[in-house]
Amino acid sequence: MENSKKTMEKVVNLCKSRGFVFPGSEIYGGFANTWDYGPIGVELENNVKKAWWKRFVQESPNTYGVDASILMNPRVWEASGHVASFGDPKMDCKSCKQRFRADNLIEDHSKGSVCPDTMTNEEMEAYIAEHNVKCPRCGNFNWTPIRTFKLMFETSRGTIEGEKDVVYLRPETCQGEYVNFLNVQRTARAKLPFAIAQIGKSFRNEITPGNFLFRTIEFEQMELQMFCKDETAVDIYNGYKEKAWQFAKDVGLNEERLRFHDHDKLAHYAKCACDIQYNFPIGWQELNGVHHRGTWDCSRHQEFSGKSMIYTDPVTNEKILPTVIEYSIGVGRLTLALLCEAYDEEVLENGETRVVMHFHPAIAPYKVAILPLQKNLGNKAKEVFALLSKEFMCDYDEAGSIGKRYRRQDEIGTPFCVTIDFDTLENGTVTIRDRDSMEQIRIEIDKLVEYISSKIKF
């Protein structure tokens, strides 16, 4: 299918109708920029997280996982710089009262060819005026000046009435990795360079034009911090650029829709930073980041906590404040890219069109669907379901014609359909249909687990 015919609207509609993703709090009219994963979506999302963890923790020497608290000591966010400066440049449309990020307006207007990262608020206002960038909602040009909005959600903690301390919902997971640097180093007896990884929820008070899962106020991040000596940091940074690219490709994204985007504007402590961008139906947008963070994080936490973040080299006895290379990617952001990549409308020989999701089998929500050709084959089919569901996430469907049932599985990307027919009762064989080629082979029930396992490896 041509990329130009893949619209976000088609992907969103399929997600809602097939149970991938529903609007958050839908029966109350929704809640902007929140989405709930349904029965199919939660499997997809879990498989994305499993693939990332396998690649970056399980198969990566010197990488250790953590699961840190969402609510952290508020001093963490002073040390990280978020309390002082984590905000977005926002403009309101005075006609329809909708609020937008000025940098997003510029990116969308220029279709990604202009990078607002390097612009001041005044430069962004000038660009918007000069190019007559109109409100995407109502089409008017009637903007307020840019104002900076805080991105951290605040809540409070206190046991005595009236005495409440502000605490923050974490806007990124990596601070939980920095504050545990020496705990992990000591207990894992880790030597530099080593990495700490985690997958967890983050929260940002984002105002977005509503690009589905792309930017939400609550989202999960898969983040990894590699602690190293400064002289090795640039090589490690380049290594993670490659690893991040390879992962994006292996998990199912087409290289033609991926590109590196080196940052023009660097934080004062950073030597280099880049994104990998994906060509979403809304244009080229950031998929993940790889950042050289210098010694900023360790030095700030050392300063604010008063506790040493120094690593002592066991051989040379050298005292080192580690440099950090970070790789960070959003679960929802990657899931959205995979949904867009997988979506396909295929015209069949009989002229009908089938919608099919070509997920990598390891990512597909269900690995196999068990379909009795007729309802009176249900007992045998349930036996096969019991066998396969011990190994894989399976679906079971006996409603409607076999053709309709295949189409339903194609739409949710199930790589294999196993059909139970009358020969199954005679000789213990079933047909197994491949989602992409639609070819069928006959196979013994005893060989199904081995056959499917060999095809869904990541």
Instruction: State the residues that interact with ligand GAP by CB under 6 A.
Output: 172, 174, 204, 206, 215-216, 219, 221, 223, 286, 288-289, 326, 328-330, 332-333
CA-nearest of 357, 385, 361 to 371 is 385
Amino acid at 264: D
CA–CA distance from 349 to each of 249, 352, 353 (Å)? 30, 7, 9
Amino acid at 432: I
Question: Least Å distance between CB 261 and ligand GAP?
Answer: 11
The DSSP line for 108-124 is HHTTTSS-GGG--HHHH
Amino acid at 23: P
| Nearest residue to ligand GAP on Cβ basis | 330
Our CB check for ligand GAP shows the closer of 169 and 432 to be 169
CA-nearest of 197, 193, 166, 168 to 180 is 197
CA-nearest of 425, 428, 437 to 417 is 437
Amino acid at 279: N
Q: For residues 444 and 458, give the distance between their C-alpha atoms in angstroms, rounded to a whole number.
A: 25
Q: For residues 204 and 219, give the distance between their C-alpha atoms in angstroms, rounded to a whole number.
A: 8
Our CB check for ligand GAP shows the closer of 263 and 407 to be 263
DSSP state of 193: S
Question: Least Å distance between CB 288 and ligand GAP?
Answer: 5
Our CB check for ligand GAP shows the closer of 152 and 402 to be 152
Our CB check for ligand GAP shows the closer of 221 and 424 to be 221
Question: Least Å distance between CB 151 and ligand GAP?
Answer: 9
Our CB check for ligand GAP shows the closer of 47 and 221 to be 221
Question: Least Å distance between CB 287 and ligand GAP?
Answer: 6
Q: For residues 118 and 263, give the distance between their C-alpha atoms in angstroms, rounded to a whole number.
A: 9
Long-range interactions of 442-450: CB distance < 8 A, separation 24+: 445/384, 445/387, 448/368, 448/384, 448/387, 448/388, 448/418, 449/387, 449/388, 449/391
Our CB check for ligand GAP shows the closer of 270 and 355 to be 270
Question: Least Å distance between CB 197 and ligand GAP?
Answer: 12
Our CB check for ligand GAP shows the closer of 274 and 445 to be 274
Question: Least Å distance between CB 330 and ligand GAP?
Answer: 3
Question: Least Å distance between CB 208 and ligand GAP?
Answer: 7
Our CB check for ligand GAP shows the closer of 35 and 64 to be 35
The DSSP line for 276-295 is EEEEETTEEEEEEEEEE-TT
Question: Least Å distance between CB 203 and ligand GAP?
Answer: 9
Q: Which helix (H) or strand (E) holds 354?
A: strand 353-357
Our CB check for ligand GAP shows the closer of 56 and 416 to be 56
Our CB check for ligand GAP shows the closer of 328 and 414 to be 328
Question: Least Å distance between CB 422 and ligand GAP?
Answer: 50
Our CB check for ligand GAP shows the closer of 215 and 433 to be 215
CB of 188 closer than 8 Å to CB of 62: no
Burial of 336 (C-beta count, 10 Å sphere; 0-12/13-18/19+): buried
The DSSP line for 13-82 is HHHHHHTSEEETTGGGT--TT-EEE-HHHHHHHHHHHHHHHIIIIITSTTEEE----SB--THHHHHTTH
Q: For residues 359 and 302, give the distance between their C-alpha atoms in angstroms, rounded to a whole number.
A: 45
Question: Least Å distance between CB 183 and ligand GAP?
Answer: 19
Question: Least Å distance between CB 209 and ligand GAP?
Answer: 12
